[in-house]
Amino acid sequence: MQLVTVEEQRRIEAFLYKEARFADQSRYEDWENLVDEDMYYWIPTDDPEADPERTVSITADNRKRLATRIAQLKTGKRHAQLPVSPMRRLVSNIEIEKMAAPKQQGTEEYLVHANFVVYELQVQSTRMLDVWPGGVEYRLRQYPDGEIKMYYKKIMLVEAGEPILTAAFIL
């Protein structure tokens, strides 16, 4: 792994902030456009180093399953999100490294670690403000035309080993 330039850091941070804004605003189609074809979206339980193929996860979606989840959210009939929860998230402590051997030839790939907190107002049920803190690992790919796509997102919730509320939205 190697350090990134200031320009790479700015581009990647801008991507992360856009991804967070789209998720907060329930702009699922825009959010999905940030995702690459080999995307893997994973929320492990209490062991973030576990093998998602062999352990129970909160969520473990390949690209096809993630598309199904987003399609359900876009119907407006997902009762856990009817009406949609107002949300705001903060992304901080961003660390970026360039990956040495990209999976796809001709691209640059980055490993990104960050912390986040999501504030969700449960307007459809308790009217309580829920707080979802955690860490996140992204793997991003930049194509020769400058477009950045996310192909891996692992969300490590602080409360992952405890009973949690339904996360019926994109974390």
Domain count, the chain: 1
Expressed as residue numbers, the domain containing 47 is 6-157
Residues 6+ apart with CB under 8 A from 19: 31, 34, 150
Question: Hey, what amino acid is at 73?
Answer: L
* Residue 14 in domain: yes
* Residue 167 in domain: no
- Both tokens of 3, joined, read 């350090």
| Longest CA span, the chain | 49
Please write the tens of the pLDDT for every residue from 107-144: 999 999 999 999 998 887 788 899 999 999 999 999 99
**CATH code of the domain in which 103 resides:** 3.10.450.50
Query: Distance (Å, rounded) from C-alpha 124 to C-alpha 40?
Result: 29
Query: Distance (Å, rounded) from C-alpha 171 to C-alpha 167?
Result: 8
* Residue 150 in domain: yes
* Residue 46 in domain: yes
* Residue 163 in domain: no
- Both tokens of 158, joined, read 């602080």
* Residue 126 in domain: yes
C-beta separation of 30 from 22 below 8 A:
yes
Report pLDDT for 1: 65
Query: Distance (Å, rounded) from C-alpha 76 to C-alpha 80?
Result: 10
* Residue 52 in domain: yes
pLDDT category at 76 given cuts 50, 70, 90 is low
C-beta separation of 131 from 119 below 8 A:
yes
Output the average pLDDT for the chain. 89
* Residue 30 in domain: yes
pLDDT category at 49 given cuts 50, 70, 90 is confident
From residue 43, how far is each of 10, 22, 86, 126 by CA, in Å? 26, 19, 21, 24
- Both tokens of 125, joined, read 């049920």
